[in-house]
Structure 1
Amino acid sequence: MTAAATPEKTPVEIKVRVSEKGFLDEKGRPYGAKRALQVPKDTMVKITFVFGEDMTSLAVGDTHQITIRAEDGWKQETGSVWVMNRESSVSFLAGEKSRTQYRAYCILDCIGMEHLTNLLIQVV
Protein backbone atom coordinates (compact mmCIF):
# COMPACT_ATOMS: atom_id res chain seq x y z
CA MET A 1 0.00 0.00 0.00
CA THR A 2 1.41 3.36 -0.98
CA ALA A 3 1.27 6.41 1.27
CA ALA A 4 -1.35 7.98 -1.00
CA ALA A 5 -3.75 5.04 -0.72
CA THR A 6 -6.39 5.10 1.97
CA PRO A 7 -7.85 1.99 3.53
CA GLU A 8 -11.21 1.00 2.11
CA LYS A 9 -14.13 1.91 4.29
CA THR A 10 -16.29 -1.01 5.24
CA PRO A 11 -19.44 -1.09 3.10
CA VAL A 12 -22.62 -0.26 4.99
CA GLU A 13 -25.67 -2.49 4.58
CA ILE A 14 -29.05 -1.20 5.69
CA LYS A 15 -32.42 -2.90 5.58
CA VAL A 16 -35.51 -0.74 5.17
CA ARG A 17 -38.96 -2.28 5.54
CA VAL A 18 -41.54 -1.15 3.01
CA SER A 19 -45.20 -1.30 3.98
CA GLU A 20 -48.43 0.60 3.54
CA LYS A 21 -47.37 2.57 6.67
CA GLY A 22 -44.24 3.85 4.91
CA PHE A 23 -40.52 3.20 5.21
CA LEU A 24 -39.56 1.60 8.52
CA ASP A 25 -36.30 0.66 10.21
CA GLU A 26 -35.66 -2.89 11.36
CA LYS A 27 -37.40 -2.14 14.68
CA GLY A 28 -40.53 -0.91 12.90
CA ARG A 29 -39.96 2.81 13.56
CA PRO A 30 -40.92 5.03 10.61
CA TYR A 31 -38.48 7.19 8.72
CA GLY A 32 -39.86 10.60 7.83
CA ALA A 33 -39.25 14.32 7.59
CA LYS A 34 -37.89 14.48 11.14
CA ARG A 35 -36.05 11.15 11.01
CA ALA A 36 -33.75 10.70 8.04
CA LEU A 37 -31.68 7.64 7.23
CA GLN A 38 -28.04 8.68 7.68
CA VAL A 39 -25.18 7.17 5.69
CA PRO A 40 -21.43 7.84 6.05
CA LYS A 41 -19.75 9.89 3.31
CA ASP A 42 -17.42 8.12 0.86
CA THR A 43 -18.79 4.71 1.82
CA MET A 44 -20.42 2.11 -0.44
CA VAL A 45 -23.97 1.85 0.85
CA LYS A 46 -26.27 -1.06 0.09
CA ILE A 47 -29.89 -0.43 0.98
CA THR A 48 -32.12 -3.47 0.85
CA PHE A 49 -35.82 -2.74 0.71
CA VAL A 50 -37.78 -5.54 2.37
CA PHE A 51 -41.47 -6.26 1.77
CA GLY A 52 -42.93 -5.64 5.22
CA GLU A 53 -46.66 -6.09 4.73
CA ASP A 54 -48.72 -8.31 6.95
CA MET A 55 -49.99 -11.26 4.93
CA THR A 56 -53.49 -10.11 4.20
CA SER A 57 -55.21 -10.89 0.94
CA LEU A 58 -54.76 -7.23 0.02
CA ALA A 59 -51.00 -7.34 0.51
CA VAL A 60 -50.57 -10.38 -1.72
CA GLY A 61 -51.16 -8.30 -4.84
CA ASP A 62 -49.33 -5.22 -3.60
CA THR A 63 -46.03 -4.48 -5.29
CA HIS A 64 -43.47 -1.77 -4.57
CA GLN A 65 -40.57 -0.52 -6.68
CA ILE A 66 -38.30 2.03 -5.06
CA THR A 67 -36.28 4.76 -6.77
CA ILE A 68 -33.45 6.55 -5.00
CA ARG A 69 -32.77 9.98 -6.50
CA ALA A 70 -30.15 12.64 -5.76
CA GLU A 71 -30.61 16.37 -6.16
CA ASP A 72 -28.48 16.38 -9.33
CA GLY A 73 -30.80 13.94 -11.13
CA TRP A 74 -28.83 10.73 -10.47
CA LYS A 75 -31.17 7.85 -9.73
CA GLN A 76 -31.26 4.13 -9.24
CA GLU A 77 -34.23 1.75 -9.01
CA THR A 78 -34.84 -1.50 -7.19
CA GLY A 79 -36.56 -4.42 -8.76
CA SER A 80 -40.11 -5.21 -7.68
CA VAL A 81 -40.61 -5.87 -3.98
CA TRP A 82 -43.63 -8.04 -3.25
CA VAL A 83 -44.80 -11.35 -1.77
CA MET A 84 -42.86 -13.44 -4.31
CA ASN A 85 -39.72 -11.25 -4.24
CA ARG A 86 -39.45 -9.92 -0.72
CA GLU A 87 -36.16 -8.02 -1.06
CA SER A 88 -34.43 -5.81 -3.61
CA SER A 89 -31.30 -3.70 -3.14
CA VAL A 90 -29.55 -0.66 -4.52
CA SER A 91 -25.89 0.20 -3.94
CA PHE A 92 -24.17 3.53 -4.34
CA LEU A 93 -21.20 5.54 -3.12
CA ALA A 94 -22.57 7.97 -0.52
CA GLY A 95 -21.56 11.54 -1.21
CA GLU A 96 -20.22 10.83 -4.70
CA LYS A 97 -20.02 14.02 -6.83
CA SER A 98 -20.66 16.12 -3.69
CA ARG A 99 -24.18 14.73 -3.22
CA THR A 100 -25.41 15.46 0.30
CA GLN A 101 -28.80 13.79 0.27
CA TYR A 102 -31.01 11.38 -1.61
CA ARG A 103 -34.72 10.71 -1.58
CA ALA A 104 -36.32 7.29 -1.90
CA TYR A 105 -39.88 6.75 -3.00
CA CYS A 106 -42.14 4.11 -4.50
CA ILE A 107 -42.79 4.61 -8.23
CA LEU A 108 -45.67 2.15 -8.48
CA ASP A 109 -49.29 2.86 -7.68
CA CYS A 110 -49.45 0.86 -4.46
CA ILE A 111 -51.31 0.60 -1.19
CA GLY A 112 -49.85 3.22 1.13
CA MET A 113 -48.22 5.17 -1.70
CA GLU A 114 -48.83 8.44 0.15
CA HIS A 115 -46.52 7.14 2.91
CA LEU A 116 -43.81 5.91 0.52
CA THR A 117 -42.64 9.29 -0.75
CA ASN A 118 -40.49 10.58 2.04
CA LEU A 119 -37.40 8.51 2.80
CA LEU A 120 -34.66 11.12 3.12
CA ILE A 121 -31.12 9.71 3.01
CA GLN A 122 -28.53 12.15 4.36
CA VAL A 123 -24.78 11.86 3.86
CA VAL A 124 -22.93 12.55 7.12
Structure 2
Amino acid sequence: MKEIVKRFATGLTTLAFAAALAAPALTYAAGSDKAPLEIKVRVSEKGFFDEKGKPYGGKRMLQIPKDTMVKITFVFGEDLTSLAAGDTHQIALRAEDGWKQETSPLWMMNRESTVSFLAGEKGRTQYRAYCILDCIGMEHLTNLIIQVI
Protein backbone atom coordinates (compact mmCIF):
# COMPACT_ATOMS: atom_id res chain seq x y z
CA MET A 1 0.00 0.00 0.00
CA LYS A 2 2.90 2.37 0.84
CA GLU A 3 4.32 1.70 -2.61
CA ILE A 4 1.07 2.78 -4.31
CA VAL A 5 0.87 5.96 -2.22
CA LYS A 6 4.53 6.74 -3.02
CA ARG A 7 3.95 6.29 -6.79
CA PHE A 8 0.80 8.39 -6.61
CA ALA A 9 2.64 11.21 -4.78
CA THR A 10 5.53 11.06 -7.27
CA GLY A 11 3.07 11.17 -10.16
CA LEU A 12 1.28 14.20 -8.68
CA THR A 13 4.58 16.00 -8.12
CA THR A 14 5.64 15.32 -11.71
CA LEU A 15 2.26 16.49 -13.00
CA ALA A 16 2.39 19.68 -10.90
CA PHE A 17 5.93 20.42 -12.15
CA ALA A 18 4.90 19.89 -15.78
CA ALA A 19 1.83 22.11 -15.31
CA ALA A 20 4.00 24.87 -13.83
CA LEU A 21 6.31 24.76 -16.84
CA ALA A 22 3.43 24.72 -19.31
CA ALA A 23 1.41 27.52 -17.67
CA PRO A 24 3.16 30.47 -19.39
CA ALA A 25 2.81 28.79 -22.80
CA LEU A 26 -0.88 28.11 -22.20
CA THR A 27 -1.44 31.71 -21.10
CA TYR A 28 0.36 33.02 -24.20
CA ALA A 29 -1.57 30.72 -26.50
CA ALA A 30 -4.87 31.74 -24.93
CA GLY A 31 -4.01 35.42 -25.48
CA SER A 32 -2.81 34.92 -29.03
CA ASP A 33 -5.88 33.10 -30.31
CA LYS A 34 -7.89 36.33 -30.46
CA ALA A 35 -8.62 36.84 -34.13
CA PRO A 36 -7.54 40.16 -35.65
CA LEU A 37 -10.12 42.73 -36.68
CA GLU A 38 -10.53 42.09 -40.41
CA ILE A 39 -11.61 44.94 -42.68
CA LYS A 40 -12.04 44.94 -46.46
CA VAL A 41 -11.58 48.19 -48.35
CA ARG A 42 -12.48 48.43 -52.02
CA VAL A 43 -10.08 50.53 -54.11
CA SER A 44 -11.14 52.14 -57.39
CA GLU A 45 -10.48 55.24 -59.46
CA LYS A 46 -13.27 56.91 -57.45
CA GLY A 47 -11.65 56.34 -54.04
CA PHE A 48 -11.83 54.00 -51.05
CA PHE A 49 -15.12 52.25 -50.22
CA ASP A 50 -16.43 49.89 -47.57
CA GLU A 51 -17.95 46.51 -48.44
CA LYS A 52 -21.39 48.11 -48.88
CA GLY A 53 -20.09 50.70 -51.34
CA LYS A 54 -20.05 53.70 -48.98
CA PRO A 55 -17.04 55.97 -49.54
CA TYR A 56 -14.44 56.75 -46.89
CA GLY A 57 -13.37 60.36 -46.56
CA GLY A 58 -12.55 63.20 -44.20
CA LYS A 59 -15.96 62.97 -42.54
CA ARG A 60 -16.12 59.17 -42.58
CA MET A 61 -13.02 57.61 -41.03
CA LEU A 62 -12.29 54.09 -39.92
CA GLN A 63 -12.10 53.95 -36.13
CA ILE A 64 -10.11 51.15 -34.52
CA PRO A 65 -9.82 50.44 -30.77
CA LYS A 66 -6.30 50.83 -29.37
CA ASP A 67 -4.26 47.63 -28.98
CA THR A 68 -6.34 45.77 -31.56
CA MET A 69 -4.57 43.64 -34.15
CA VAL A 70 -5.92 44.86 -37.50
CA LYS A 71 -5.87 43.13 -40.86
CA ILE A 72 -6.95 45.38 -43.74
CA THR A 73 -7.45 43.74 -47.11
CA PHE A 74 -7.45 46.18 -50.01
CA VAL A 75 -9.53 44.85 -52.91
CA PHE A 76 -9.16 45.99 -56.52
CA GLY A 77 -12.63 47.31 -57.22
CA GLU A 78 -12.52 48.52 -60.81
CA ASP A 79 -15.41 47.37 -62.97
CA LEU A 80 -14.55 45.39 -66.07
CA THR A 81 -16.24 48.08 -68.16
CA SER A 82 -14.26 50.88 -66.50
CA LEU A 83 -11.52 52.70 -68.36
CA ALA A 84 -9.40 52.08 -65.26
CA ALA A 85 -9.76 48.27 -65.41
CA GLY A 86 -6.21 48.03 -66.75
CA ASP A 87 -4.92 50.42 -64.11
CA THR A 88 -2.80 49.40 -61.13
CA HIS A 89 -3.01 50.70 -57.56
CA GLN A 90 -0.57 50.20 -54.71
CA ILE A 91 -1.60 51.38 -51.28
CA ALA A 92 0.69 52.72 -48.58
CA LEU A 93 -0.46 52.95 -44.98
CA ARG A 94 1.48 55.59 -43.02
CA ALA A 95 1.36 56.74 -39.41
CA GLU A 96 2.21 60.20 -38.12
CA ASP A 97 5.63 59.01 -36.84
CA GLY A 98 6.75 57.82 -40.29
CA TRP A 99 5.91 54.11 -39.85
CA LYS A 100 4.77 52.73 -43.20
CA GLN A 101 3.53 49.53 -44.82
CA GLU A 102 2.72 48.96 -48.48
CA THR A 103 0.48 46.50 -50.28
CA SER A 104 1.59 44.61 -53.33
CA PRO A 105 0.27 46.15 -56.57
CA LEU A 106 -3.49 45.71 -57.04
CA TRP A 107 -4.76 45.06 -60.53
CA MET A 108 -6.89 42.62 -62.54
CA MET A 109 -4.46 39.74 -61.96
CA ASN A 110 -3.84 40.49 -58.24
CA ARG A 111 -7.15 41.66 -56.84
CA GLU A 112 -6.33 41.62 -53.09
CA SER A 113 -3.46 42.58 -50.83
CA THR A 114 -3.37 42.76 -47.03
CA VAL A 115 -1.56 44.80 -44.40
CA SER A 116 -1.59 43.95 -40.69
CA PHE A 117 -0.64 46.07 -37.71
CA LEU A 118 -1.32 46.69 -34.03
CA ALA A 119 -3.51 49.78 -33.70
CA GLY A 120 -1.93 52.40 -31.46
CA GLU A 121 1.46 50.70 -31.24
CA LYS A 122 4.19 53.11 -30.03
CA GLY A 123 1.57 55.79 -29.35
CA ARG A 124 0.33 56.06 -32.93
CA THR A 125 -3.10 57.67 -33.06
CA GLN A 126 -3.79 57.94 -36.77
CA TYR A 127 -2.91 56.25 -40.05
CA ARG A 128 -3.56 57.40 -43.61
CA ALA A 129 -3.90 55.15 -46.65
CA TYR A 130 -3.12 56.44 -50.13
CA CYS A 131 -2.12 55.18 -53.57
CA ILE A 132 1.60 55.50 -54.29
CA LEU A 133 1.39 54.81 -58.04
CA ASP A 134 0.56 57.31 -60.75
CA CYS A 135 -2.89 55.95 -61.58
CA ILE A 136 -6.28 56.99 -62.86
CA GLY A 137 -8.16 58.50 -59.93
CA MET A 138 -5.07 59.05 -57.80
CA GLU A 139 -6.57 62.31 -56.51
CA HIS A 140 -9.40 60.27 -54.95
CA LEU A 141 -7.12 57.70 -53.33
CA THR A 142 -5.76 59.90 -50.53
CA ASN A 143 -8.75 60.04 -48.21
CA LEU A 144 -8.73 56.89 -46.05
CA ILE A 145 -8.00 57.92 -42.45
CA ILE A 146 -7.75 55.27 -39.71
CA GLN A 147 -8.18 56.73 -36.25
CA VAL A 148 -7.18 54.88 -33.07
CA ILE A 149 -9.77 55.33 -30.32
TM-score by length of 1: 0.92
- For 1:52 and 1:60, locate their aligned partners in 2 and report how far apart those are by CA, in whole Å: 9
Q: Which residue of 2 aligns with 1:88?
A: 113
Aligned twin of 2:84 = 59
**CA apart distance, 1:57:** 5.8
Q: Percent identity?
A: 79
Larger radius of gyration between Structure 1 and Structure 2: 2
CA distance in 2, matches of 1:57, 1:15: 21
Work out whether residues 17 and 23 of structure 1, in 8 Å CA contact, stay in contact via their aligned partners in 2. Answer: yes
2:102 maps to what in 1?
Answer: 77
The aligned counterpart of 1:39 is 64
CA distance in 2, matches of 1:31, 1:84: 25
Q: 2:120 is aligned with what amino acid? A: G
Bigger mean CA deviation after superposition, 34-43 or 61-70: 34-43
Gaps of 5+ in 2: 1-22
User: Residues 24-62 of structure 1, C-alpha deviation per residue, up to 9 Å, x if partnerless?
Assistant: 000000000000011121111010000111112623320
**Contact 2:79–2:85 under 8 Å retained in 1:** no
How many Å separate the matches in 1 of 2:109 and 2:82? 14
Report the counterpart of residue 3 of structure 2 in structure 1. none
Which is richer in strand?
1
**Structure with more relative contact order (C-alpha pairs < 8 Å, separation 6 or more):** 1
Aligned AA (1:49): F
Please tell me the residue identity of whatever aligns with 1:94.
Answer: A
> Which of 106, 122, 125 is the aligned partner of 1:100?
125
Aligned to 1:22: 47
Report how many aligned residue pairs link the two structures.
123
Any idea what the Cα deviations from partners look like across 1:5-36, whole Å, max 9, x if unmatched?
Answer: 79454310100000111000000000000000
Distance in 1 (CA, whole Å) between partners of 2:49 and 2:133 is: 18
